Structure 1
Amino acid sequence: MRNRPARYSRLAVAALAGALVLTACADTGDDKSSSSDKTDNSAMYVAGLVGDQSAGTPKKGGTLEVIEYGEARSLDPTKTIPNGAVGGNALAAIYDVLMSYDPATGEYSPLMAKSLETKDSKTWTLTLRDGVNFTDGTPLNAQAVVASIGYYMQNQGFNTLLLHTNISKMTPQGDNTVVFTLNKPWATFPAMLAAGPGMILAPAAIAGGPEKFKPIGAGPFKFDTYKPAEELILSRNEKYFGEAPNLDKLRFTWVQADQAKLDSLKAGSADVISVRTAGVLENARKDGFAGAMSPAGISQVVWINNREGRGGSDERLRKAINLATNPEQYLDRTQGGAGQPTRGLYSEAFAYYKEIELPEQNIAEAKKLVAEAKADGADTSLSYITQSDQTSQTGAVTLEAQLEAVGFDIEVELLRDITEQTTRLYVKKDFDLAMGSMSLSEDPYMSFANNVVSTSPANPSGYANKEMDALVADLQTKMPVEAVDTLAEINALWQETVPGAVISAGGFFSPWGKNVHGVVPTGVNMLLFHKAWKS
């Protein structure tokens, strides 16, 4: 393996906001957890609450110690990723969300909102609860909602492109009603109000713009103290609508290695953690911890740069890469056999999963395609970027061997951390091959619109296919369970045209201790703590 010296980028995390969630969803490679049990593990990845959820009468008081998957670094939802992988739990605790999502049923319900209704999926009427106030005492009304979502879009929060291209207008009607008029039907529009755009910011929070942002919301907790890379503490909002939270405080900390997080949970120094590494996740499930499970779709994918001038612009080489890889071998060597090897886009745990024929490893055909492309002048010398931890290096050696066996010449470049990898993959687009992921979960339309539609600036591979664009446009008008056939067509077209080579499906597991109760899972892998308590 030929390693180029790592080159370090100093780009601000804020500049990476639109992309970080995607790479964060990939295996961080922080630990290799051996698992000799290779029996069917699909039941471990079914969405919803798992383990013993029984509890008695809620008790008041105490601090919940939460080790988050990633640090927000900013409490402005436009400057981070409002999801469970990168600080979304803390943001939801401060700002709450208008809508919540039940991973077990796939249904959206009002939370901070009173209702969200539509007759045609094109005009949506949001009704707010009476008497909800921000922690500075100002009302959370229709004008505040429009201003907050406008701020989110103006400052390019995550998924802003979808909002800009789909929302024709937002109209406040009185104090408690907002009417969203869309350009076309959007069946999963409630997903937006269950994520970043649905975290409503107080007028005083955004009055001074991003440079003078203040973390003022109407959520169950309010900002207390923040020490970067050390801790974030939130205290109870006594005036939270309905009933004040049970807990006195939430304390968020950040530990890089998933195994270290699990060790902390077992030792009792953490109350709630979040892990993605397959071996650690499966061991936590086998240990019987209660928690919230969220399947993530594509946990690992080798993105192939399709852009002109790159080797991956030749479809024959992309197909060869897909046929050369061996997902089972990759997971055996990097995760001790844990995980869900696949070439397909969807986890079997998804309600909209439909089996299609997937290609198997075919060394002979891959060699033939590489030889044909090389004879026509295609560049078969490709770079592969990944992180520098041991598991990522093991994965790089494995992929290098698989690809060079069919005629590629692979140069591995080890990067310092996930921020640098995100910069190269999603901002600079400076790569031939790169390990990443694509979280599909509750709203596959959102993921495909970002990652494979030809006009999306977030499209990591530069993939452009008119048939794929049309399929994703059709997907927008349907709920996922109503779009099984469309989603199967997307899967089949992916296998035919190969934007990237899928390695595994996976999930996001947030286990908690036996004395923790009332944690509520919601969309984009987030947890809600408004009902949480400790016995």
Structure 2
Amino acid sequence: MHDERFPGPHRRGFLAATGAATLGALALTGCGGSGTERSDAKGDSTPRRGGRLRAAFAGGGGSETLDPHLANLFADAARAKAQYDKLADYGADLSAQPRLAEKWEANKTLDRWRITLRRATFHDGRPVTAADVLYSYRRIADPGQAFRARASLEPIDLDASRATGERGIEFVLKRPTAEFPNVLAAFGAYIVPEGAGAAGGFDKKPIGSGPFRFVSFTPGRSAVFRRYDDYWDGAPHLEELEFVVANEESARVNALLGGQVEYAHELNPTTARAHESRGQIGIVRLRNSAMQAFCMKTDRAPFDDKRVREAFFLIADREELVDGALSGAGTVGNDLFGKGYEYYADGLPQREQDLDRARALLKQAGAEKLKVTLDASAVAAGFVEAAGIFRDQAKKAGVTIEVKLGSKDSYWADILDNGSLCCYRSGAMPIEAHISQRLLTDSTTNATKWKHKDFDALYQQAQSTRDKAERAAVHERMQRRLYAEGGFLIWGFADWILGTARNVKGVATEAPANTLDWARFDKVWLA
């Protein structure tokens, strides 16, 4: 469900055909909804049925598809959520919440999980069954396809997994996995009818089990969906939902101001501030949606010395970075991923700038006149500004930083293995997923080159620990280690900003981007 990039729209044209904006209890039962606060949820506004809401997103041009397993852009994810369901999805704190899975439970060794499906139907009236789930996961796991959720499903032995009845599945895992529900909630792990991909019909007449059913689709321009009255989580308030493509942020805002759309995704902080007090449109800020950081590679000089890394932690004035690079649209970080998420170690002291201590540490490390290159790019909002601010902060500690601007097209590949210091950001994902994808010896996106066998062992211990409180304690041990000597200088968490027409009600206000209640149009209505 994550993407560390989150690039903003950068190509022209409302309804344009090009452009991109990328985004990735052991026994639990429950119904839909995660308790997320919504606009007017506690006011006098009563949900009204009917009407068409038009939502503007940056799109992917003529190559767009409604195949939910190919979802990569925010627009893809929003369209997929309207039409399909996953077995689970992430709540506001990034814990897994049940969706099509009514219940899950593990065996004692945490390497077999039994799933019970809720009673739900596809748009053609067929029930959602275990066979559909296994078909969907095996399709995603096909090594010959480029389905994004494939890596997330890797812990499952799909050859050994089986249906135990029409609504029952036993997943056999390759190793103990206490956080297996996170796999069920993975970005792009949608359930489709058995055989759905065989005829390539996802863009012609796709059938899902979500709150809206297909009406029409023109890649790079629009997609229209209509209310599904038999949706298991309750029929949507809206009669119709239309997604339109507007790649430039200014185009989305102008369309909103001009009444061409009622919802505009991804506004920049300056735009939000300019319109917040005027009353023409509503501004919704989704807190903690994007981690903002500098990434230090711990396997090479100068950051192979933990004293240098600690010095850089103490050089950062986080308030200044949030105010300057994010225009104040965010909160300060504490060098740990996932502020406010499940397992976050919020008891650690907030790190403050301490230039004297930073200079002392650099002197101890023999790096008093340190010179280092900071890789940055305009690939993400605030990167260039943050690099300049940090360069000036470092100068006060006797450190010379040269800011090197890289290509927007190749930046993420370039910084993975090259250089020693770079700008970095990440979207919402569970802390467990952040660790497994970025901080283990064999992690495929280990940008800090943090490779410690004892840390790997702690992660495996957490995944093998059945008791949640004991597992949380292991997660805290890992985070304390990262806080003391890790390679991520996490200085802030940016808001994700939406714009709405004044008559749009029910938009979630506490859901980070890519979680269950983000783009949850089945709970929105027009007043």
Identify whether the pair has TM-score above 0.5, normalized to the shorter chain. yes
The one-letter code sitting in structure 2 at the alignment partner of 1:87 is: D
Match of 1:495 in 2: 483
Q: How does 1:131-142 map to 2 (within 5 A)?
A: 132-133=121-122, 135=124, 140-142=128-130
Q: Which moved more, 1:144-153 or 1:113-122?
A: 113-122
- Counterparts of 1:275 and 1:47, CA distance in 2: 23
Change (3 A) 1:474 1:81: farther
User: 1:145: Cα distance to partner?
Assistant: 0.9
Q: Which moved more, 1:206-215 or 1:524-533?
A: 206-215
1:361 is aligned to 2:353? yes
- Counterparts of 1:233 and 1:70, CA distance in 2: 15
User: 1:412: Cα distance to partner?
Assistant: 2.5
Q: Which moved more, 1:169-178 or 1:471-480?
A: 471-480
The one-letter code sitting in structure 2 at the alignment partner of 1:455 is: D
Match of 1:301 in 2: 293
Match of 2:4 in 1: 22
Match of 1:67 in 2: 56
Same amino acid, percent of matched pairs: 20
- Counterparts of 2:169 and 2:217, CA distance in 1: 34
Change (3 A) 1:298 1:467: farther
The one-letter code sitting in structure 1 at the alignment partner of 2:135 is: A
Of 209, 233, 238, 1:218 maps to 209
- Counterparts of 2:35 and 2:237, CA distance in 1: 26
- 2:264/2:498 contact within 8 Å kept: yes
Residues 244-275 of structure 1: CA distance to partner in whole angstroms, max 9, x if unpaired? 54534322245567687567556644323444
Residues 268-295 of structure 1: CA distance to partner in whole angstroms, max 9, x if unpaired? 4432344475666788888898898654
Aligned residues: 489
- Counterparts of 1:29 and 1:95, CA distance in 2: 29
The one-letter code sitting in structure 1 at the alignment partner of 2:87 is: L
Of 441, 444, 453, 2:431 maps to 444
Residues 504-533 of structure 1: CA distance to partner in whole angstroms, max 9, x if unpaired? 124445564443345676836633333543
Q: How does 1:124-523 map to 2 (within 5 A)?
A: 124-130=113-119, 132-133=121-122, 135=124, 140-154=128-142, 155=145, 157-158=147-148, 160-165=150-155, 167=157, 169-196=160-187, 198-207=189-198, 215-219=206-210, 220-222=212-214, 224-228=216-220, 230-237=221-228, 245-255=236-246, 265=256, 268-275=259-266, 294-296=286-288, 299-308=291-300, 311-345=302-336, 349-350=340-341, 352-353=343-344, 354-370=346-362, 380-387=371-378, 391-415=382-406, 417=408, 419-426=409-416, 429-439=417-427, 443-476=430-463, 477=465, 483-508=471-496, 510=498, 512-517=500-505, 523=515
User: 1:149: Cα distance to partner?
Assistant: 0.8
- 2:69/2:149 contact within 8 Å kept: no
- 1:265/1:273 contact within 8 Å kept: yes
User: 1:355: Cα distance to partner?
Assistant: 1.8
Change (3 A) 1:102 1:356: closer
**Matched residue of 1:387: which SS?**
coil
Change (3 A) 1:141 1:388: closer
Residues 359-378 of structure 1: CA distance to partner in whole angstroms, max 9, x if unpaired? 432334434544565679x9
- Counterparts of 2:94 and 2:404, CA distance in 1: 43
Residues 17-52 of structure 1: CA distance to partner in whole angstroms, max 9, x if unpaired? x87x1221x89999xxxxxxxxxxxxxxx9932431
- Counterparts of 1:56 and 1:391, CA distance in 2: 39
TM-score, normalised to structure 2, is 0.76
- Counterparts of 1:472 and 1:270, CA distance in 2: 46
User: 1:146: Cα distance to partner?
Assistant: 0.6
- 1:276/1:506 contact within 8 Å kept: no
Of 508, 512, 518, 1:526 maps to 518
Match of 1:12 in 2: none
- 1:27/1:299 contact within 8 Å kept: no
Change (3 A) 1:486 1:245: same
- Counterparts of 2:467 and 2:241, CA distance in 1: 35
- 2:326/2:494 contact within 8 Å kept: no
Residues 164-218 of structure 1: CA distance to partner in whole angstroms, max 9, x if unpaired? 2355742112332211133455343223323435411234432268999985433
Q: Which moved more, 1:197-206 or 1:141-150?
A: 197-206
User: 1:300: Cα distance to partner?
Assistant: 0.4
- Counterparts of 2:111 and 2:94, CA distance in 1: 23
- Counterparts of 2:291 and 2:184, CA distance in 1: 25
The one-letter code sitting in structure 2 at the alignment partner of 1:450 is: Q
Match of 1:4 in 2: none
- 2:53/2:238 contact within 8 Å kept: yes
- Counterparts of 2:459 and 2:296, CA distance in 1: 20
- 1:48/1:293 contact within 8 Å kept: no
Change (3 A) 1:394 1:527: closer
Change (3 A) 1:389 1:175: closer
Of 79, 87, 90, 2:76 maps to 87
The one-letter code sitting in structure 2 at the alignment partner of 1:299 is: M
Residues 448-498 of structure 1: CA distance to partner in whole angstroms, max 9, x if unpaired? 211212211122222212333233334434687765433433332112222
Change (3 A) 1:381 1:244: closer
Q: Which moved more, 1:122-131 or 1:261-270?
A: 261-270
- Counterparts of 1:27 and 1:431, CA distance in 2: 24
Q: Which moved more, 1:65-74 or 1:299-308?
A: 65-74
Change (3 A) 1:179 1:227: same
**Matched residue of 1:145: which SS?**
helix
- Counterparts of 2:38 and 2:120, CA distance in 1: 35
- Counterparts of 1:239 and 1:199, CA distance in 2: 19
The one-letter code sitting in structure 2 at the alignment partner of 1:103 is: A
- 1:385/1:435 contact within 8 Å kept: yes
**Matched residue of 1:411: which SS?**
strand
Change (3 A) 1:358 1:188: same
**Matched residue of 2:163: which SS?**
strand
Q: How does 1:111-122 map to 2 (within 5 A)?
A: 112-118=100-106, 120=108, 122=111
Q: Which moved more, 1:326-335 or 1:275-284?
A: 275-284
User: 1:356: Cα distance to partner?
Assistant: 1.0
The one-letter code sitting in structure 1 at the alignment partner of 2:421 is: L
Q: Which moved more, 1:296-305 or 1:443-452?
A: 296-305
User: 1:73: Cα distance to partner?
Assistant: 4.0
- Counterparts of 2:81 and 2:153, CA distance in 1: 20
Change (3 A) 1:499 1:361: same
- Counterparts of 2:384 and 2:505, CA distance in 1: 39
The one-letter code sitting in structure 2 at the alignment partner of 1:23 is: R
Match of 2:26 in 1: none
User: 1:444: Cα distance to partner?
Assistant: 1.5
